[in-house]
Amino acid sequence: MAAYGIKVGACNAGACGFRCQEVCPQGVFLAVPKERNRARHAADPHYRIVPRFAYFCDGCGECLPVCAQNAIRITSRKTGGG
């Protein structure tokens, strides 16, 4: 069984409009504040994208072409179970 890992590098989510979060059919990505002040608006450039639910990733790659910074990497890894 294959599982997918997601790494988000130099993400400037405020500049790109959180497109990966919008197009991901599995809902893998989450916008989180870079600072502790969680009262900021989600479109604020002080937010970043994290693959909080990476275990749902099915490797479709919908997020890759919409990432303006090419910050997303999807890797395949083997898992046990057959």
Q: Residue 6's beta-bridge partner residues?
A: 74
Boundaries of domain holding 57: 2-78
**Residue 73 reports pLDDT greater than 80:** yes
Tens of pLDDT, residue by residue over 27-70, are 999 988 877 655 555 555 678 888 889 889 999 999 999 988 88
CATH of the domain at 37: 3.30.70.20
Cβ within 8 Å of residue 36, ≥6 positions away: none
Q: Tally the C-alpha atoms within 13 A of residue 40's C-alpha that lie toward its C-beta.
A: 16
The residues, any chain, with a CB within 8 Å of residue 70's CB and separated by 6 or more, are none
Domain count, the chain: 1
Specify the pTM: 0.72
13 or 57, greater pLDDT = 57
Q: Which amino acid is at 24?
A: C
